[in-house]
Structures are given as structure tokens and as C-alpha cells.
Amino acid sequence: MAQRFNPLFRAHLRYALCSMVVALAACNEATPPAPPPPALKKPQQQYEALKASAKGIATGPATSDYTVYVMFDPQCQHCARLWEEAQALQATVRFVWVPVTIMDVRSAAISAALLGSASAQEDLRRQEKAVLQRTEGIKGMDPVPPYLDSVVKANTDLINRFRVLGVPYVVARNQTTSEYVSHEGVMSREMLQRFLGLGSR
């Protein structure tokens, strides 16, 4: 003989089933995408964002209170030329070279290798010299570890928020005027000195 459910139990069962249907329908609703982060177009905004979150390779005196940020792609010829022009200033000026991926996936692998290197400054010198000479540079990571992959992507996301078209991209504070300044593209040593407000060195 079949077991019969009493009316109260059936009412509770119907309520529970309806609740499940409503919950499943809510789960299936598409979550609206998060709004994109705001653009950072002013040099001061960019400088503060770089200081707060960018990961790069520092060169020059570690004790310097004055920092110049250079966003670069490790395969970029123009970036390598700026590296070369900046060499004479790195004895007294602290640079932070922030690798990003602009060209292709190999840039991401090389950027990760630079950021994960125990001798990052030396590897950066080798890579920039190789780019200038159009020879083989350091070997990129394959595969790229998830942590370093996220760091390179975060650097790249940051330069995308700056709404610039290319690298190298330099952000600094002019030492003469105290104004925050930015520049897209390669500069000669003399141009870089004027841009940074360093006078003749």
C-alpha cells in the first residue's frame, strides 16, 4: 500500500521546491561585468600608481629619494636605446624599469624572467644590449609561473590605463620645477636630463 503524505507535509514540500527553483534561476542570471578601472592620464596619477603597485628592476642608488619610472617592452628597440641613453645618469638617479607586454607573448616570458631573476640588473643589461645588437638575449620563462604571469599582466594593465600608444614611457617628477612629467618615446641623454630637470651632468 502506497504511503500517503499529509496535506501539511505536501505544502512544505511544494514551498521547498519553489524556493529551490527561484534560487537556481537567480544563480543562472548573468552577473553584470565589473566596470573597467578609470583611466589615469595625469602624470601625478600615473606616478602614484606606479609607486603603489608597479613591479620592476631598480637601478641606480638605492638610497635616492628621487625615482624615475620607465615602462618598457623587453624586445623594444626604442626602449633599449633609452636604456643606453640613461646609463650616464644611473650613477646618481634611481630608475625603476617596469616590464610590460606590448609586442607579443615572448615579451611576457622575458619580462617574467627578468622579474624572477636573482641577478635582475645584470640580466636587464644583457637583454637591452642584445636588443640593440639584434642578437639573442636572455631566455624567457616557459612556462611562466602563475605569480610572475600575474605581475606582468598587472604592469601591462597599468600602462593600458595610462592610455598611451607605445613604449618606452617615462614618468617622473622634474627636480627643477617639482612638476610631475611623462614622456612617450625615446629621448637622447640631453633630452632626458632636461625632462628630469637635472641640468648638465
Mean pLDDT of 4-30: 52
Dihedral Cα 148, 104, 141, 118, nearest 10 deg: -60
Computed on alpha carbons and rounded to an integer, the radius of gyration of the chain in Å comes to 26
> Percentage of residues in the chain with pLDDT exceeding 90?
76
123 found inside a domain? yes
Q: Higher-confidence residue: 72 or 22?
A: 72
Does residue 37 fall inside a structural domain? no
In a domain, residue 35? The reply is: no
Is 54 within a domain?
yes
3-state secondary structure 133-146: HCCCCCCCCCCCCH
pLDDT tens digits for range 39-65: 999 999 999 999 999 999 999 998 888
Cα torsion for 121, 43, 75, 189, to the nearest 10°? -70
Tens digits of residue pLDDT in 96-111: 999 999 999 999 999 9
Considering the domain boundaries, does residue 139 fall inside one?
Answer: yes
Which residues is 180 bridged to in the sheet? 173
Rounded distance between C-alpha atoms, residue 113 and residue 118, angstroms = 10
CATH number of 98's domain:
3.40.30.10
CA 45-50-54 angle, to 5 degrees, is 150
Helix axes 77-86, 189-196, angle to 10 degrees: 70
pTM over 0.75: yes
How many domains, the chain? 1
pLDDT of residue 37: 85
| Domain presence at residue 100 | yes
Residue 170 has pLDDT above 60, yes or no: yes
Q: Of 121 and 65, which is predicted with more confidence?
A: 121
Q: Is residue 84 included in any domain, yes or no?
A: yes
Q: Note whether residue 171 is domain-resident.
A: yes
Residues 190, 108: Cα–Cα separation, whole Å: 31
Quote the domain boundaries for residue 156.
43-196
